[in-house]
Amino acid sequence: MQRRVRTRTIAVVSALGLTGVLGGCGLGGGSSDVTLKLVAADYGDSAANSSEKYWADLVERYESEHPDVRIDVSVHSWNDVDRKVKEMVDAGDPPDIAQIGAYADYAAEGLLYKAGDLLSIPVQADFLAQLTTAGEVNSVQYGMPFASSTRVLFYNKKLFAEAGVTPPRTWDELATAAEALEAKGVTYPYALPLGPEEAQAETMQWLLSGGGGYTDITGTYSIDSARNVETFAWLKDELVGKGLTGPVAPGKLDRADAFAAFAAGDVGMLNGHPSLMETAKEKGVEFGMVPTPGIDGESQVTLGVADWMMAFRENGHRDQVGDFLDFVYSEENVLDFSREYNLLPVTNSASRTMAASGQDKDLKPFLDQLATSELYPVGNTSWATVNAAVKKEIGKAVAPNGSPAGVLGGLQATATRAQTAG
């Protein structure tokens, strides 16, 4: 697949493995003084909406005003992009800029520029406060948020009406609704995806709704806290143990499969992020969205997720990198990306515009949750280890012979060792 774009060379690898080369000489036929390498993740689900199109347009506009700078962008699927950047770093040839899932390890190794050394003061100050904090290591911001999302409870309106139930606000109401859906033959009354694809998200959503979380207020891991154990004991006894989570064991059910089942009309309710809206609409599923139910009312905190931009120091070019990132984070560009991929803006200015815009009304339930969302402890270099362990082990906590206290205790031990080693 090829598309010619004036003013640069940009190599792109889409999520489907298609490679396109968008080529051209520098503005006016001359060579650029500086070439910046950017590796980015693909948020599209096909070649038609690959993120390569977003970056191609953005880079063309930037280079038209900056003929002395060329931006070479490589876009890779989420299955590959973090590994690709790690391979480049390990080979001693990191990109100038990377837009991937985690930054803390690179910051801890001293490989990254501080955000304050790159961005203009107005741009850095425009980031949402909780995302700025999540981008810090030892109170210094290295990770610049690029995209964000929150979670709400999706429910199938047709199935709820047939079961005679209303959207739940509490755990008990959720269990009651699930029982009514199960009695009507719904395949997955509540879909509980604790499989390895994204178990860390479903886990954190439930921990937060029970008043807990992965860490305490000091940032120390508290995975096996009494509240967290009680949350998973309730899940095991009141949902999984009563056959209300469907035919696939939660530890084997991946998020993508749960979303596909919801779009097929086989799920009564599940936690979901904005991309599920389009998937469900395409399949003709009429759905509603409500805040995550909590133990005794709507959850006071919901899960927030952010992806990260970072700049490596190896090649220098600090001024050029900073100027380009100021352009990337303009209100126009942040809104364009968020609207294209049904994600939430990471800046205050774009968030205000989206909140006031009728064209973004579908995203408003997620945007309303953002201010009170809590993110993964991505600033801890130990999080990568803990994240992997949660994906591997958490499904066992709700298995028939599983022990919530035992599994969470094992994860706590893993977290403590990882934090001490870091």
Closest CA to 138 of 157, 170, 110: 110
Q: Which CATH class is domain 152-291+382-421?
A: alpha beta
Distances (CA, A) of 152 to 86, 272, 290, 369: 33, 6, 6, 8
Hey, what CATH topology would domain 10-148+306-370 get? D-Maltodextrin-Binding Protein; domain 2 (3.40.190)
| pTM greater than 0.85 (yes/no) | no
Quickly state the pLDDT bin for 294 (edges 50, 70, 90). Answer: very high
Q: Which helix (H) or strand (E) holds 380?
A: none
Token pair belonging to 358: 């009728």
Residue 14 has pLDDT above 80, yes or no: no
Alpha helices per DSSP H over 66-127: 81-90, 104-108, 121-125
Closest CA to 18 of 38, 1, 35, 33: 1
Question: For the chain, which residues make up each domain, given as ranges?
Answer: 10-148+306-370, 152-291+382-421
List pLDDT tens digits, range 212-253: 999 998 889 999 999 999 999 999 999 999 999 999 999 999
**3-state DSSP call for residue 364?**
helix
- 10-148+306-370 and 152-291+382-421 have identical folds: yes
Contact 347, 331 (CB under 8 A): yes
pLDDT at 422: 65
Find the Cα–Cα–Cα–Cα dihedral 75, 81, 85, 86, rounded to 10°.
-170
Q: What is the separation, in whole angstroms, between the first and last Cα of the chain?
A: 44
Residue 119 has pLDDT above 90, yes or no: yes
Q: Dmax of the chain from CA atoms?
A: 71
Burial of 386 (0-12, 13-18, 19+ CB in 10 A): buried
Hey, how many other C-beta atoms are within 10 angstroms of the C-beta on 102? 20
The DSSP letter of residue 291 is P
